[in-house]
Amino acid sequence: MSAQPNADEESQAQPLLDPSLHRSLSNVTSQVAIVGSNVCPIESLDYEIYENDFFKQDWRSRGKVQIFQYIFVKWLLCFLIGLIVSLIGFCNNLAVENLAGVKFVITSNMMLVKRYGMAFLVFFSSNFVLTLFASIITAFIAPAAAGSGIPEVKAYLNGVDAPGIFTLKTLLVKGLNVRSYHFLAHHNFFDKMIVHFNMFGSLMKDRIVGSITAVSSSLLIGKAGPMVHTGACVAALLGQGGSRKYGLTWRWLRYFKNDRDRRDFVTCGSAAGIAASFRAPVGGVLFSLEEMASWWRSALLWRCFFTTAVVAIMLRALIDVCLSGKCGLFGTGGLIMFDVTSQNTTYHIKDVPPVLVLGVIGGLLGSFYNFLLEKVLRIYSYIYGKKPIYKIILACSISVFTSCLLFGLPWLASCQPCPIDASEACPTIGRSGNYKKFQCPPGHYNDLASLIFNTNDDAIKNLFSKDTDSEFQYSSILIFFATCFFLSIFSYGIVAPAGLFVPVIVTGASYGRFVGMLVGSHSNLNHGLFAVLGAASLLGGSMRMTVSLCVIILELTNNLLLLPLIMVVLLVSKTVADAFNGNVYDIIMKLKGFPYLEAHAEPYMRQLTVEDVVTGPLQLFNVIEKVENIVHVLRTTGHHGFPVIDERSHSESPVLFGLVLRAHLIVLLRKKAFLTTAVRADSDAFRHFSAMDFTKRGSGNGDKIEDIELTEEEMEMFIDLHPFCNSSPYTVVETMSLAKALILFREVGLRHLLVIPKISNRSPVVGILTRHDFMPEHILGVHPLLVRSRWKRIRFQLPRFLKLF
Amino acid sequence: MSAQPNADEESQAQPLLDPSLHRSLSNVTSQVAIVGSNVCPIESLDYEIYENDFFKQDWRSRGKVQIFQYIFVKWLLCFLIGLIVSLIGFCNNLAVENLAGVKFVITSNMMLVKRYGMAFLVFFSSNFVLTLFASIITAFIAPAAAGSGIPEVKAYLNGVDAPGIFTLKTLLVKGLNVRSYHFLAHHNFFDKMIVHFNMFGSLMKDRIVGSITAVSSSLLIGKAGPMVHTGACVAALLGQGGSRKYGLTWRWLRYFKNDRDRRDFVTCGSAAGIAASFRAPVGGVLFSLEEMASWWRSALLWRCFFTTAVVAIMLRALIDVCLSGKCGLFGTGGLIMFDVTSQNTTYHIKDVPPVLVLGVIGGLLGSFYNFLLEKVLRIYSYIYGKKPIYKIILACSISVFTSCLLFGLPWLASCQPCPIDASEACPTIGRSGNYKKFQCPPGHYNDLASLIFNTNDDAIKNLFSKDTDSEFQYSSILIFFATCFFLSIFSYGIVAPAGLFVPVIVTGASYGRFVGMLVGSHSNLNHGLFAVLGAASLLGGSMRMTVSLCVIILELTNNLLLLPLIMVVLLVSKTVADAFNGNVYDIIMKLKGFPYLEAHAEPYMRQLTVEDVVTGPLQLFNVIEKVENIVHVLRTTGHHGFPVIDERSHSESPVLFGLVLRAHLIVLLRKKAFLTTAVRADSDAFRHFSAMDFTKRGSGNGDKIEDIELTEEEMEMFIDLHPFCNSSPYTVVETMSLAKALILFREVGLRHLLVIPKISNRSPVVGILTRHDFMPEHILGVHPLLVRSRWKRIRFQLPRFLKLF
């Protein structure tokens, strides 16, 4: 996968010093990015109000009923998103718990009768098969489903659209003998969904199934990231509302066929994803606010809150159903996943230093984690670039390696005698519990097996548990920590849906518990609470969130009294880690080549004016333009917006009339709205157009210019662009600083920003700015001297501090 | 207070139909608003990057050290804000608990020995004196401290600056024999603060002291709103950093002398205020995000989180200090104010209908509450307009009325025998408890007195308490509910610092408990939990927040299992209430006449273009302008920004050169940077200017044009505006729809938006848009026909639904 020079340059800093290399690359490579494990062309989204005659007419014609319809349907869709995501999340959980649970029960039973070889074989082969299955369906059916999906959704919400993010060609996912899949597929509502959105269903199905199998296969990967992507998929599909190909155009969904409404739905969907995977509704809203969304309004906050409220209530109801024991090994899990409430959580000033130490270690480890992850992903993508089959081979070898480690390492730990005052059965009976027997004699337990030979959720539960301060040995915890740390880094990059949240929590909890054991009786906090703080610190050090992590941890553990300490730990670890590198999702996003637009302007942008970065040549259209010219320009350039000038006005010099979009030009060409002479058409000529013709289709569904065939005669005709232009595009003067233009571009959510000259006796427009013109790579390519300037140097030395600027 | 025709017109709808009235008023009255209880002139804030030669030079000269300094000092200031606000909040609490506590202990002791008359006298007179004191210092010393302050801070964060919000002329607050004040004033750090910021200290002191006395005086008002205002004050004062008048210019604070940084500090301060008053750090961040802030960035989220983390840790440490019993009657309060944890909170599907009913009632009551509050405030402001002394009289009569009610009503309730299995002493010993004895014989308690003859916090604790399902009688709860509902509405408008949160929580909790008693044993939830849900529903119905209320309630009550129900209740009550009227703070803000700029465009704005609302006459300057003209224009208009055109350029028609601000022109006039001839000056002529000269002073500190005296000779000279102009102001074309211009204006945070002509052969600028031009009152004044149009009608019929648009 050699198509990511941007990311390479940015992080290795060396190539930036070579201007020639940069100048040639900057406008070629930034048009593609890696979505999942697939290279896709990318486009920008456009949140500008497009003002042409048809849309204006459409607004005027919207009455009270339409507004009600719009509002009602929008809320209804949010309700459906919540409903579907909670069902998927619940079934996902159910399937993982049952698959992984059955596996561990069978192996444990075999261990009990000392058939160790057989147990290993079952464990090994089930993991191998599940991983193989997950990686095959991901690699060959839905490559976009690989990885966590959070970087892709985050880029989408920033305005980067890749056709593969939420859609895929129809492919049948066959032969899935996964119980959960049948459950899903036979579930009435979901089934209907799949029929309707057959076109997109496969990605979702694949992400769901892939995620279940991958997580069940004892790989050290999480399910939160894939759930976020699933939620965003559900939202995007619902918002799209049917497809013309299948004759399922729902008229009342036509108002949502624009980027603004779709962005709202995707934001709600990603909030619902987190809410469903951690049963943390408020945390979900805050996660999508703090980490995912680039634009935010109060109304959107309420909508997200509504969606996650639906998720919370559905989950609560489904858990009620499970309480009667119908859910197999899922058992009687409550709404709080890792409850660490204790009546007497007290701590005083002397407990603060260990907590600060935890924060600092968390920051260091977190940034080191991000650093290693980037390196590993870089190596992986190099390997994947060689041959696609390597994707499968790598996944399988990771699985083999994992199985061997998980089964082999507990043999290193010595058996411990069961404590007399244990609060639960020792050794553990059944699947989950603190005291795994493994190879030990009766009355003894293997502490390392309790952690490592277990599902991730159970390992977290054991680490967080109170009244077990003497359960673990130093060596076991250390082995477990090292295993988790490195295994999770190597497992993330495989071609299967994989999240980062749970692995980071496990790793953080293990070293937190270790620190707790070191501090020992000098602290009032029990080791379980140290594990919670450790998990918080590693999350803070790796993901760099504050409020949302705080609330998610609170909702996971239900210990409000710990809140001040969690806040301290998060702040310390985030600050320490920010000194070294960026947020893990930003690193992955950069690696994948998404042109993410930051909300703040870099200091050197204040030194540059707009005209310094605008690159030519500019393609202009006349307001009455020859068909041939339009076709030629569309075929020879990849631009999506063209300024339109009017030379026939009363003024002696041409006047800027507006902006016309490629998509709209293609509609005009396809509908052949041509004039034989170059005079302005009367309004009757456009009666057969309506606003519907210009609404944005689902991503990747637009017509291509290559598909349109025109005769020689038609080529000689004219198109009157008057009614089709956006007659009031946003403009900036060429002398404006780049920082100021960026603020306008980013805050309003533009796709094209026209640059007008300071003195008006030249052409009325001198250039057009797009997202790529604001990318540091492009700017530094055009102005290589900046690299050596003071500003640039500071930027490299204080990469993260400037974010706080 | 007759100066609020805007607000009157908007809500009464009738005058809107009279275009003549409107046209004459729209540009006169919108320049003032009521801050606290004072009419102030208001200005807009400006978040645009001002690009003139001096600022550009300043950016270029900023090195690594300066950037570090900026970042470090900004975080340091946030730390100080957190520290100071938590100290103030804690002392505030301490003072209220002790003042009110002593009062109740003394009266209770007198009641115990049946000296009822004497008890009433003590109760009555202490309330009266405290109220009188609070209203006098508020009315005569710091009128801006009246009311909750949240509307003022919210308007500030939206970009409306009133000189009185955060500053006041130096006035000494003398003779305050309030223990807490001495505590504050003698506290070393705070003392230093007051010396440094003597100029502004008085408002803060007054707000703090006023709030303590008012809350202690048994009036039904809260302390959260005043704490938010206090936090914002502290933040604004710290950010301002010294004053020139006192020779205390801190050079390293010069970077913060702009509206953007000040906005960040005020946001952090208001978050800290909520965090300190409810001990809810995360809730504070979310409150300032959801309700207060109009602009938001991730970096600001972290900064707020940091500030509230400091508050949380400080509060935790201070509470630790109090655990040893040194805090008088404050006792051993924990970090969670109203703990309702119960191990076995279970609920099933049958518990949902009562919760939905609660939500609906909460929505209806909440909107009715807002409606009544508006009417009462309108009457009060009419009364206050007559004579200032009425402010004091009204406050005193409310106090008398309240004292009589609180003391008199419990006599209506019949005495109940103490339950045998009571979890606490019955009748109550000491101050707070569930079973107040009041006039009852031994072994009995008065349930109404337990609620009404108590501090608000204790009443809430009693209502939220579990295992007390049979404590209250229907009649007592109903009487208490009615008293709270009306008393809190009448108390809010008095001229004293007064919050709304606590009264709404008390009122909501009482009817929630009532509903719980009606449902009785049909539900698994105990009555205390019903009270929590009731409080949530009334908060949702009145304040219309979702996420932040959810988290605040969570942090107040520490019952995470209740979360799904709280989410439902909030959504239902908000939806129901939104059908009737707006958020209580928006109503008050409108009443006070703040030109609040909404984030969304009203539908009719899409039908209007910019040129439809631009009003003349436009004042232009030449880029080299005669002093006399500048002085004349500044004296005769109140505008704050003037377009500058360049007639001498190479073009035949004049060219727009930029925008110059009134404040900068005044600096030039004061410094007498004049030229004798009308030719462009060389760069040496401006050596004695620096960027510092053009930084924005603290609000209200700018020079006035009237203060500048110029000789006849100087009047004939010229000023070269080239280096002082913002050379790249944001512009829009006159044909752009108003909705689109509003989005630019609002998202970027502008103060002036230049309108340029479509065809360039006229003047290069046709008008200038400011905040007031986007106000519905102004637009409908200019276009009275819109009132009768379909769009307008819809807007009036669905006032709130359109917010969701």
Q: How far apart are CA B776 and CA B802, in angstroms?
A: 14
Segment B118-137 mean pLDDT = 86
Q: How far apart are CA A720 and CA A722, in angstroms?
A: 6
State how far residue B428 is from chain A, nearest Cα, in angstroms. Answer: 25
Range scoring the smallest mean pLDDT among A340-349, B308-317, B614-623, B722-731: A340-349
Does the pLDDT at position B709 exceed 70?
yes
pLDDT band at B98 (very low <50, low <70, confident <90, very high): confident
State how far residue B210 is from chain A, nearest Cα, in angstroms. Answer: 30
Residue whose C-alpha is closest to residue A366's, from A800, A804, A805:
A800
pLDDT (tens digit per residue) in A402-421 = 999 988 898 888 888 888 77
Strand A621-622 and strand A641-646: pairing?
A: parallel
* pLDDT value of residue B355: 92
Find out whether A574 and A544 touch, Cβ atoms under 8 Å.
yes
Q: How many CB pairs under 8 A join A and B?
A: 248
User: Given CB atoms, is B728 within the 8 Å cutoff of chain A?
Assistant: yes
Nearest CA in chain A to B559: A558
Find out whether B142 and B206 touch, Cβ atoms under 8 Å.
yes
Q: Is A567 within 8 Å of B316 when comparing Cβ atoms?
A: no
Residues 6+ apart with CB under 8 A from A779: A604, A605, A608, A613, A738, A773, A786
Contact residues, chain A, for B761 at CB < 8 Å: 650-652
Complex-level ipTM: 0.87
Residue among A301, A546, A739 minimizing CB distance to B305: A546
For every residue of B515-561, which 3-state class applies, written as one string? Answer: HHHHHHHHCCCCHHHHHHHHHHHHHHHHHCCCHHHHHHHHHHHCCHH
Residues 519-558 on B with a CB inside 8 Å of A are 546-547, 550-551, 554-555, 558
Find out whether B759 and A649 touch, Cβ atoms under 8 Å.
yes
> Domain B603-789 is classified in which CATH homologous superfamily?
CBS-domain (3.10.580.10)
pLDDT (tens digit per residue) in A25-70 = 334 335 777 776 677 778 888 888 888 887 777 777 777 787 888 8
Residue among B546, B730, B740 minimizing CB distance to A305: B546
User: Given CB atoms, is A302 within the 8 Å cutoff of chain B?
Assistant: yes
User: Given CB atoms, is A571 within the 8 Å cutoff of chain B?
Assistant: yes
Residue among A285, A563, A650 minimizing CB distance to B312: A563
Contact residues, chain B, for A554 at CB < 8 Å: 282, 560
Interface test with B, best of A48, A70, A261, A305 (most B CBs within 10 A): A305
Range scoring the smallest mean pLDDT among A714-728, B172-186, B190-204, B403-417: B172-186
DSSP H stretches of helix in B423-526: 447-452, 456-464, 474-492, 501-519
Q: Is A286 within 8 Å of B67 when comparing Cβ atoms?
A: no
Q: Where are the domains of chain B?
A: 60-177+221-324, 349-592, 603-789
Contact residues, chain A, for B552 at CB < 8 Å: none
Topology alike, domains B349-592 and B603-789:
no
Contact residues, chain A, for B801 at CB < 8 Å: 67-68, 71
Does the pLDDT at position B211 exceed 80?
no
Q: How far apart are CA B199 and CA B248, in angstroms?
A: 12
Residues 357-376 on B with a CB inside 8 Å of A are none
Reduced to 3 states (helix: H, G, I; strand: E, B; else coil), residue A677 is coil
User: Given CB atoms, is A344 within the 8 Å cutoff of chain B?
Assistant: no
pLDDT band at A697 (very low <50, low <70, confident <90, very high): low
Contact residues, chain A, for B747 at CB < 8 Å: 747-748
Contact residues, chain A, for B297 at CB < 8 Å: 599-600
Just give the CATH number of A60-177+221-324. 1.10.3080.10
Q: Is A320 within 8 Å of B571 when comparing Cβ atoms?
A: no
Predicted TM-score (pTM) of the model is 0.88
Q: How far apart are CA B611 and CA B737, in angstroms?
A: 9
pLDDT (tens digit per residue) in B596-637 = 988 888 878 888 888 888 876 788 898 888 899 999 998 888
Residue bearing the bigger pLDDT, A437 or B377? B377
Reduced to 3 states (helix: H, G, I; strand: E, B; else coil), residue B43 is strand
Interface test with B, best of A46, A740, A759 (most B CBs within 10 A): A740
Does the pLDDT at position A460 exceed 50?
yes
CB-based burial, B359-395: b 16+ in 10 Å, e otherwise = bbbbbbbbbbbbeebbebbbebbeebeeeeebbbebb
Tokens 């510092």 belong to residue = B692
Interface test with A, best of B62, B74, B740 (most A CBs within 10 A): B740
User: Given CB atoms, is B302 within the 8 Å cutoff of chain A?
Assistant: yes
User: Given CB atoms, is B760 within the 8 Å cutoff of chain A?
Assistant: yes
State how far residue A803 is from chain B, nearest Cα, in angstroms. Answer: 7
Q: Is B282 within 8 Å of A743 when comparing Cβ atoms?
A: no
Contact residues, chain B, for A804 at CB < 8 Å: 71, 74-75, 299, 302-303
Contact residues, chain B, for A800 at CB < 8 Å: none
Q: How many other CB atoms sit within 10 Å of the CB of residue A48?
A: 21
Does the pLDDT at position A535 exceed 70?
yes
Contact residues, chain A, for B645 at CB < 8 Å: none
Residue among A316, A335, A567 minimizing CB distance to B312: A567
pLDDT band at B227 (very low <50, low <70, confident <90, very high): confident
pLDDT (tens digit per residue) in A519-531 = 887 888 888 899 9
Q: How far apart are CA B571 and CA B550, in angstroms?
A: 10
* pLDDT value of residue B82: 94
Q: Is A56 within 8 Å of B599 when comparing Cβ atoms?
A: no
* Phi-psi region at B733: left, alpha or beta (left = phi > 0; alpha = psi -120 to 50): beta
Contact residues, chain B, for A797 at CB < 8 Å: 64
Tokens 């030229």 belong to residue = B675
pLDDT (tens digit per residue) in B66-94 = 778 888 888 999 999 999 999 988 888 88
Q: Is B804 within 8 Å of A74 when comparing Cβ atoms?
A: yes
Q: Is B740 within 8 Å of A49 when comparing Cβ atoms?
A: yes
Segment A5-11 mean pLDDT = 36
Q: Is B790 within 8 Å of A63 when comparing Cβ atoms?
A: yes
Q: How many CA atoms lie within 13 A of A110 on its CB side?
A: 14
Contact residues, chain B, for A68 at CB < 8 Å: 801
Q: What percent of chain B shows pLDDT beyond 90?
A: 20
Residues 35-94 on A with a CB inside 8 Å of B are 48-49, 51, 56, 59-60, 62-64, 67-68, 70-71, 74-75
CA torsion B577→B583→B584→B589, rounded to 10°?
-150
User: Given CB atoms, is B797 within the 8 Å cutoff of chain A?
Assistant: yes
pLDDT band at B29 (very low <50, low <70, confident <90, very high): very low
Residue bearing the bigger pLDDT, B547 or B499? B547
Residue whose C-alpha is closest to residue B720's, from B622, B619, B620, B618:
B622
* pLDDT value of residue B192: 33
User: Given CB atoms, is B301 within the 8 Å cutoff of chain A?
Assistant: yes
Residue whose C-alpha is closest to residue A391's, from A582, A196, A630, A134:
A134
To the question of domain B349-592 being in CATH 1.10.3080.10, the answer is yes
Contact residues, chain B, for A567 at CB < 8 Å: 281, 305, 308-309, 312-313
